[in-house]
Chains A and B, each alone.
Chain A
Amino acid sequence: MNTSDNNELYGLLAEFPGPEPLVQATAQVYAAGYRRLDAYAPMPVEGLAEAMNFRRTSMPLIVLIGGIIGGLSGYLLQYWVAVIEYPVNVGGRPLHSWPAFIPITFETTILLGTFAGVFGMLALNGLPRPHHPLFGVAQFKRASRDGFFLCVETSDRKFSLDQTRDLLTAAGAIEVIDVPR
């Protein structure tokens, strides 16, 4: 492993002639033990996510935690206001009238759950990010038109400039391009 190369490079970008070769190559590279890789295609490609063994993200957990915090804080806020800080007798009902607290609790659950969803998604995507190294490669523009790309990142434990390049070429890449950081 050549550390100086790895510091200058974001990864290796390989171009493939079509969707099927891309899926096959992705499966091969994954089978070879690489995990930090990503594929880019101009349209949804069936089987690509499975070839990368695309795991579930932690988004559901983040949203659940956001929702629970929202629900608890909404309820406790009302409890604090209505029972402790500003108790008012409304029609002889007990101060802790939970049925009336439910709508607000529901709203704050949704609110914080949604916030957790949006901001959690941005955080997991690594956003905000003004520039991505892949845009430094001229050919990468074609990923939104007719190019099928697979990128292996240098941060992968198995990454080695020569071996990875050989593997990608053997997997059927038309061209393997260095992606500067």
Chain B
Amino acid sequence: MSQADALRETLSRWNRIAIIAAVVGGALCGLAAIVNLEQFLRSYLVGFIFWWSVSMGCLGLLMMYYLVGGRWGAAVKPLLEFGSLLTPLTALLFLPVALGIDRLYPWVQADDITPEKALYLNPPFFYARAVVYFIIWWLLAWLLCRRTAAAAAEFPRWRILLSAGGLVALFLGVTFAAIDWGMSLDPEWFSTIYGALVAMGGALAAMALVTLTLTALDRGAPDTPPLVAPLTLGDLGSLILTFLILWAYFGYSQFLIIWSGNLPEENIWYVNRLNGGWQWLGLTIVLGQFVIPFFLLLSRDVKQHPRRLKFVALLVFVMQYLYVLWSLSPSFHPRQFYIHWADFAALAAVGGVWVSAYLWLARRRLPEILAANPS
């Protein structure tokens, strides 16, 4: 009957799908862990890093909204809060990675790396750092999303100040976490922009996810007004375009600098990813995560149209997952394209858990989404 009831119904239906994905994916992950524990951990790491980066992106965008304000943020603020509030959940989802580091990371066998690197890359320090990261992120998310009387004003001064410092802390934390969890798969290799690239990929995926949520909800009966005003949709599309360009700029900088230097210890990362079939995945990402969405998002006809924008946001979100896969998996299978069914199982398991919690929050706090989008 009313718009709220219809939306609640839609959210419930999606939530059922997400729970099924979590259960089926989880069962398959369990099977994979029995059959091939090493492969399960590798697939799980890819799924975990992707969904963790989405949470971090939500938290970062929320703080950015507190700092700069704007129509876009008012429309998606509740959704960004839901994504940020899942930080403790990502800490739980981190456990399989934490328990499996001896099978994931070559540096656990200390003789594989120099003594200087072993000062940083050793299991006790790795665990201690992970604990510190999650405490900082959880504190930020809790302080920013907590409902208090003092937070009744839309922009309490302390939250603005917290966001200013918090963005720095988040960026540093994500950089270190990206080095620990992703870059250290190749302990000999290093890139100074790696963390920024992961952080920006997270912001891009989060922006795409909240836009996708709003535009997918926006398909009521033809006589009901649109959920999101066209100008707001245009702003969301423009922000996806902005993050897309920034992400592509970071990614290309890393490639160009390593390509120009052409030193064996640096270029091995790209050699492993541009041979044996991986190059076709790389080309797909260049097209699907830059060229196609870039030209589509130049047009206002696409950005201000719910169904078209939904398609672009979905494309960007899926492509960001493929990028995470392309940036991590070749470390295990260099110069030889390799996809295991556990990759899909892990994506479904971690994603199902994450999305069902996100949708559960969205359904419970639907009035906030509607209040943020008066139409």
A91 to chain B, nearest CB (A): 7
Which residues of the partner chain B approach A91 to less than 8 Å between Cβ atoms?
Answer: 262
A151 to chain B, nearest CB (A): 28
Q: Which of A60, A64, A100 contacts B260 (CB 8 A)?
A: A100
The stretch that binds A, out of B142-150, B178-186, B251-259, B342-350, is B251-259
Docked pose: A132 CA to B121 CA in angstroms: 72
Docked pose: A100 CA to B259 CA in angstroms: 9
Which residues of the partner chain A approach B298 to less than 8 Å between Cβ atoms?
Answer: 60, 64
Docked pose: A103 CA to B300 CA in angstroms: 27
A99 touches B262 (CB 8 A): no
Q: Which residues of chain B from 289 to 311 have a CB within 8 Å of any chain A CB?
A: 298-300
Which residues of the partner chain A approach B252 to less than 8 Å between Cβ atoms?
Answer: 102
A103 touches B256 (CB 8 A): yes
Which residues of the partner chain B approach A56 to less than 8 Å between Cβ atoms?
Answer: 300
Please name the residue on chain A nearest to B299 by beta carbon.
A60
Docked pose: A60 CA to B302 CA in angstroms: 14
A94 to chain B, nearest CB (A): 12
B262 touches A100 (CB 8 A): no
Q: How large is the interface on A (under 10, 10 to 19, 20 to 34, 35 or more residues)?
A: under 10
Q: Which residues of chain A from 88 to 116 have a CB within 8 Å of any chain B CB?
A: 91, 93, 99-100, 102-103
Q: How large is the interface on B (under 10, 10 to 19, 20 to 34, 35 or more residues)?
A: under 10
Please name the residue on chain A nearest to B261 by beta carbon.
A91
Q: Which residues of chain A from 49 to 77 have a CB within 8 Å of any chain B CB?
A: 56, 60, 64
Query: Chain A, 15-27, contact with B by CB distance < 8 Å: what is the 0/1 string?
Result: 0000000000000
Docked pose: A60 CA to B299 CA in angstroms: 9
Please name the residue on chain A nearest to B252 by beta carbon.
A102
Q: Which residues of chain B from 248 to 275 have a CB within 8 Å of any chain A CB?
A: 252, 255-256, 259-260, 262
B191 to chain A, nearest CB (A): 16
Which residues of the partner chain B approach A102 to less than 8 Å between Cβ atoms?
Answer: 252, 256
A109 to chain B, nearest CB (A): 12
Which residues of the partner chain B approach A93 to less than 8 Å between Cβ atoms?
Answer: 262
A123 to chain B, nearest CB (A): 21
Which residues of the partner chain A approach B256 to less than 8 Å between Cβ atoms?
Answer: 99-100, 102-103
B299 to chain A, nearest CB (A): 8
Docked pose: A47 CA to B213 CA in angstroms: 31
Q: Which residues of chain B from 72 to 117 have a CB within 8 Å of any chain A CB?
A: none
Query: Chain A, 23-38, contact with B by CB distance < 8 Å: what is the 0/1 string?
Result: 0000000000000000
Docked pose: A91 CA to B260 CA in angstroms: 9
Docked pose: A113 CA to B262 CA in angstroms: 33
Docked pose: A102 CA to B255 CA in angstroms: 12
Docked pose: A102 CA to B256 CA in angstroms: 9
Which residues of the partner chain A approach B300 to less than 8 Å between Cβ atoms?
Answer: 56, 60
Docked pose: A99 CA to B262 CA in angstroms: 12
Docked pose: A93 CA to B300 CA in angstroms: 41
Which residues of the partner chain B approach A103 to less than 8 Å between Cβ atoms?
Answer: 256
Q: Which residues of chain B from 224 to 266 have a CB within 8 Å of any chain A CB?
A: 252, 255-256, 259-260, 262
Please name the residue on chain B nearest to A91 by beta carbon.
B262
Docked pose: A102 CA to B249 CA in angstroms: 11
Docked pose: A100 CA to B256 CA in angstroms: 7
Please name the residue on chain B nearest to A56 by beta carbon.
B300
Please name the residue on chain B nearest to A92 by beta carbon.
B262
Docked pose: A89 CA to B111 CA in angstroms: 41
Docked pose: A64 CA to B295 CA in angstroms: 10
Docked pose: A102 CA to B262 CA in angstroms: 17
Q: Which of A60, A64, A99 contacts B255 (CB 8 A)?
A: A99
Docked pose: A91 CA to B299 CA in angstroms: 42
Please name the residue on chain A nearest to B258 by beta carbon.
A99
Which residues of the partner chain A approach B299 to less than 8 Å between Cβ atoms?
Answer: 60
**Most chain B Cβ neighbours within 10 Å, of A56, A64, A99, A102:** A99
B255 to chain A, nearest CB (A): 7
Docked pose: A99 CA to B259 CA in angstroms: 8
B307 to chain A, nearest CB (A): 21
Which residues of the partner chain B approach A100 to less than 8 Å between Cβ atoms?
Answer: 256, 260
Which residues of the partner chain A approach B259 to less than 8 Å between Cβ atoms?
Answer: 99
B336 to chain A, nearest CB (A): 24
Which residues of the partner chain B approach A99 to less than 8 Å between Cβ atoms?
Answer: 255-256, 259-260
Docked pose: A56 CA to B299 CA in angstroms: 12
Docked pose: A9 CA to B262 CA in angstroms: 71
B206 to chain A, nearest CB (A): 26
Q: Which residues of chain B from 113 to 137 have a CB within 8 Å of any chain A CB?
A: none
Docked pose: A115 CA to B299 CA in angstroms: 20
Seen from chain A, the residues whose Cβ lies within 8 Å of a Cβ on chain B are 56, 60, 64, 91, 93, 99-100, 102-103
Seen from chain B, the residues whose Cβ lies within 8 Å of a Cβ on chain A are 252, 255-256, 259-260, 262, 298-300
Given contacts A93-B262, A100-B260, A103-B256, 7 further A-B contacts (CB under 8 A): A60-B298, A60-B300, A64-B298, A91-B262, A99-B256, A99-B259, A102-B256
A selection of 7 A-B contacts at a CB cut-off of 8 Å is A56-B300, A60-B299, A91-B262, A99-B255, A99-B259, A102-B256, A103-B256
Q: Which 8 A-B pairs have the closest CB atoms?
A: A99-B259, A99-B256, A91-B262, A102-B252, A99-B255, A100-B260, A102-B256, A64-B298
